[in-house]
Amino acid sequence: MQRSAPRLTRILACAAVPVMLVAAGCSSDSGSDGADGAPKQSPTAAASPSPTPTPTVEPAVYGELPEPCKAVAEVTIKDLVPEVKRKGGTPGQTSDTASRGSCSWNGLDDKGVKGSQYRWLDVSLLRYESDPSLGSGEQRATENFAKEVAKVKATQGAKDVKSAPAKGLGDEAMAIGYGLKKSDEDFTYAAIVTRTENVVVTISYNGAGFAGSDTPDREDLAKQATRAARDAVKAVAAANK
């Protein structure tokens, strides 16, 4: 019995080793999901994508339009439309005066048996605001400048349509001339489409000779229309000082 006690002690000590190792192994894994001891990231902890930056555009240069019926100088109206019916002009209807406006004048210079001369003048103003989804005001005006030119050229019934760049007007300008038969009379048309920054100005000027009077000269009408367009471009700049 004295010899068996040490032997029993050694057996118990050896039997305890695996238990300690197992316990040590369990304690080493506690709080760690990886072999290197670093905790694993949950799906929600993954880096989220960066938010898409909001697109920006240059602010529009012009934020106002001049009063359409005052966009052309009075002296110009007097020279272009003799015997004008309404010196103050007839404003066009619009629900957005900040973005669009128009005005027209007409008059008949009646000289009895010597014939009569009729004139009609119209100014149209379109302003384009900058919009992140549509582009800058200048870009939008440039696109619509081309559309306005195309629209004038495509006037129904227009004959002998001719166009050429007009110099010294805004950032870009086009002069368009054509003939048109109305009420059995031959009318001559001159149009100037101009872009100044984010505003598109269209001047339409036409005339006819009645009772044997000569049909207006196309080049003469074009010069007068250019004069009116120059007034309107200045008026846009003045409205934004």
Residue 193 near residue 148, CB atoms below 8 Å: yes
Domain extent at residue 228: 68-239
Give the CATH number, domain containing residue 147: 3.40.1000
Tokens of 63: 């934020």
Does 190 reside within a domain?
A: yes
Residue 60 near residue 141, CB atoms below 8 Å: no
Q: What is the pLDDT of residues 155-208, one digit of tens each?
A: 999 999 999 999 999 999 999 999 999 988 999 999 999 999 999 999 999 999
Does 45 reside within a domain?
A: no
Does 48 reside within a domain?
A: no
Q: Render 103-161 in DSSP notation, one character per residue.
A: EEEEEEEE-GGG-EEEEEEEEEEEE---BTTTB-HHHHHHHHHHHHHHHHHT-TT-EEE
**Which of the two residues, 38 and 210, has the higher pLDDT score?**
210
Collapsed DSSP state (helix, strand, coil) of residue 75? helix
Q: Cα 188 to chain center, whole Å?
A: 32
Full-model pTM: 0.77
**pLDDT value for 53:** 64
d(CA 176, CA 172) in angstroms, rounded, equals 14
Length of the chain: 241
Question: Percentage of residues in the chain with pLDDT exceeding 70?
Answer: 78
Does 131 reside within a domain?
A: yes
Residue 204 near residue 53, CB atoms below 8 Å: no
Average pLDDT over residues 108-113: 88
Does 17 reside within a domain?
A: no
Does 150 reside within a domain?
A: yes
**pLDDT value for 12:** 38
Residue 193 near residue 201, CB atoms below 8 Å: yes
Number of domains in the chain: 1
CA distances from 5 to 8, 17, 22, 117, 241 (A): 5, 19, 27, 141, 112
Helix-strand-coil split of the chain, %, nearest 5:
35, 30, 35
- Reported as a pLDDT band with limits 50, 70 and 90, residue 96 is very high
d(CA 206, CA 157) in angstroms, rounded, equals 14
Collapsed DSSP state (helix, strand, coil) of residue 202? strand
Average pLDDT over residues 122-127: 98
Does 13 reside within a domain?
A: no
Which single residue is written with the structure tokens 């938010």?
A: 51
Does 54 reside within a domain?
A: no
172-182 and 159-165 beta bridge pairing: antiparallel
Element (H, E) at 98: none
d(CA 98, CA 109) in angstroms, rounded, equals 35
